[in-house]
Chains A and B, each alone.
Chain A
């Protein structure tokens, strides 16, 4: 199988397998007042400190969660619940946020009457920071713009947005979902100025069910989960030292390899794009916007994504259609609607994402296979 769905989940890094294997049998509860608890606590706190150092976050601000979705949900609900009465009951988000942010905002609107301003994007999915700034002049409790879009891979100017937000609306908390960015870019610089940053372990080559909300600056933030007061009261529940050390290790590897990976993987991605455009009649959705190195979003005009994916799967190529619902059926993407992609093109949209294990041979095989499958599917039976 040629695996080109790394943005959904990427193989564990060898270093992660080693460290998880090393700690797998450790059973202590990090809250325990005994040797087993202390051993687990050491692993957890080391992981926390390392992630803080790698992301420009004070160590105590690294709060472990069950994943990116929980961190996104928490950022939105936690900020809105703790917001002082004097701050506008308003959220500003981009039109291409992950559902974990978009749906959380919709719930605030439904439950608290929050005004949710949605900032549009251009045809390649870029947010214009000036659009955010003009909305900010009316005040907001939360600004959330993702650092890079999960479907398109378009990188957003979040540091610029954060700087403007702090200048115009000092009460506003700035959150960014950096789940897709963390495997590739240095978060300390790309998300500089963001108060809250979401990351996810399994996108980095760590374990599923792990993530963190990075709290860079002390902002009013109510917990989502209450109970035993773990994570300095930010997130109740027995802490997962194994998941934490796996995520820290994966992030360390990603940061270590970032410069070389950006060059190698983006070159492979460009080769895949050219091969699919020339060989399979694919149309690249993004041409000029800055993109994550591993993302290739294309559409096959007049074709249907789930049929394409079915055909690719039968021929051993794993890709994705962007977003899929719980049943496994593919639904229209809000992101593609936001960039104004015609529905006929959006129906044939496929996301190929490369990762830390992708090889040149895999890319060449994918080009040949995808081209052959597309040609067969284009034929009327």
Chain B
């Protein structure tokens, strides 16, 4: 097959490319240039492009750099900033996967005549008997599983996708890279959002792009004012960090953020727990031909603990079997099959 492999310059996509070559495919490496601003991780730094190119050279495959920075700005960075301005907490990696990697890039690969697009994500494509037979599933390494950030992919994309390292643990990936002598073998994993420098972090990034406002903090049980937060747009539902203790000395959690009145409401932990999560109807996705409903396993963050729940018949709400910390609007929920718990059913965005 003619396969395009998205090479970020990291060890996972390096090994993914190597595996595809070993499998005898006609492989071409593609590195996306997404972000022109300061960055210290992810796929945009010139050194990462250099690493990707060097690995491609070592594997004897062609390598191209594709500039989608304008599209990335429009589809990922701007909505990320606007989301925070509107009191939401979007996941930029998921939006990048949704709008850039598995949309524009996949479309480009198809038009360039590639049969498949491969990435170095730790997730698997598994075969099932019921159509669609190619299903997205958790990666073999439970600590590195990235199926959450791919959970919004439609069946048509999964059909064109190859995930060569999904069957391997991270340690196996690194071992393979060492065996092949790839320069990325010991490169640290990127942890952060690629367009946010770790030195200034999310708050630093947003503070130069949003007019941050301070907000009053009100204690829900007592009604007392507990002071202020410096930037209400950076406060997330369920957050504990930076909130401090209530009048009774116990920890407080954010249970409401009201940007109209610039008020943050906090409560003890049981007040910040809920079973029902409202879903944005427009953002429901499925990995098959039917939107998920009924019993599901829910994962609310990249490495969150999977929890059983039930999606309502009208798909407006998912109700967890046991209450969990509040999930902020804009966050993605990944749904897995209770009868086949590695298999991704679809995703939703919290309303």
A residues sitting closer than 8 Å to B (CB atoms) are 306-307, 309-311, 313-314, 326-331, 376-377, 379-381
Contact = CB atoms under 8 A, between A and B. Distances in A.
Contacts of B111: 307, 311, 376-377, 379-381
Interface stretch (B58-66, B91-99, B278-286): B58-66
B110 A381 contact: yes
Interface in B40-64: 46, 49-50, 53, 62, 64
A329 B28 CA distance: 16
B133 interface: no
A22 B110 CA distance: 50
Contacts of B65: 306, 327-329
Given A310-B108, A328-B65, A329-B67, 13 more contacts: A306-B65, A307-B108, A309-B64, A310-B30, A327-B33, A327-B46, A328-B49, A328-B53, A376-B111, A376-B112, A379-B111, A380-B111, A381-B111
Contact of B64 (A310, A379, A381): A310
A307 B106 CA distance: 12
Size range of the chain B interface in the assembly? 20 to 34
B62 A313 contact: yes
Contact of A326 (B30, B31, B46, B107): B46
B112 to A, nearest CB: 5
Interface in B206-254: none
B51 to A, nearest CB: 11
Most chain A C-beta atoms within 10 Å of own C-beta, residue among B50, B64, B67? B67
24 contacts: A306-B64, A307-B111, A307-B112, A310-B64, A311-B112, A313-B62, A314-B28, A314-B62, A314-B112, A314-B113, A326-B46, A327-B65, A328-B49, A329-B49, A329-B65, A329-B67, A330-B67, A331-B67, A376-B111, A376-B112, A376-B113, A381-B106, A381-B107, A381-B110
A331 B66 CA distance: 10
Given A310-B112, A311-B112, A377-B112, A327 B49 contact: yes
A313 B30 CA distance: 13
Contact of B107 (A311, A327, A380): A380
Given A328-B49, A329-B33, A307 B66 contact: yes
Interface of B: 28, 30-31, 33, 46, 49-50, 53, 62, 64-67, 69, 106-108, 110-113
Nearest to A376: B111
A180 B195 CA distance: 38
A262 to B, nearest CB: 34
Nearest to B63: A328
A355 to B, nearest CB: 23
8 tightest CB-CB pairs across the interface, nearest first?
Answer: A381-B110, A329-B33, A328-B65, A329-B67, A327-B49, A381-B107, A329-B65, A327-B46
Contacts of A314: 28, 62, 112-113
Contacts of B30: 310
Contacts of A328: 31, 49, 53, 64-65
Nearest to A311: B112
A381 B53 CA distance: 27
Contacts of A326: 46
Nearest to B47: A327
A381 B49 CA distance: 27
A330 B65 CA distance: 8
A329 B30 CA distance: 11
Contacts of A376: 111-113
B66 A306 contact: yes
Contacts of A311: 111-112
A311 B33 CA distance: 18
A96 to B, nearest CB: 22
Contacts of B62: 313-314
Contacts of A377: 111-112
B116 to A, nearest CB: 13
A310 B110 CA distance: 12
Nearest to B50: A327
Most chain B C-beta atoms within 10 Å of own C-beta, residue among A306, A307, A328, A380? A328
A261 B28 CA distance: 37
Contacts of B67: 306, 329-331
A314 B62 CA distance: 9
A313 B64 CA distance: 9
Contacts of B64: 306, 309-310, 313, 328
A330 B33 CA distance: 9
Contacts of A306: 64-67
B44 to A, nearest CB: 9
A331 B46 CA distance: 14
A309 B106 CA distance: 17
Contacts of B33: 327, 329
Given A327-B49, A328-B49, A310 B66 contact: yes
Nearest to A331: B67
B73 to A, nearest CB: 14
Nearest to B30: A310
A314 B114 CA distance: 10
B72 to A, nearest CB: 12
Contacts of B113: 314, 376
Nearest to B108: A307
Most chain B C-beta atoms within 10 Å of own C-beta, residue among A311, A376, A377, A381? A381
A330 B31 CA distance: 12
Nearest to B49: A327
A331 to B, nearest CB: 7
Contacts of A331: 67
A309 B64 CA distance: 9
A306 B69 CA distance: 12
A276 B106 CA distance: 27
A23 B276 CA distance: 81
Contacts of A313: 62, 64
Contacts of A307: 66, 108, 111-112
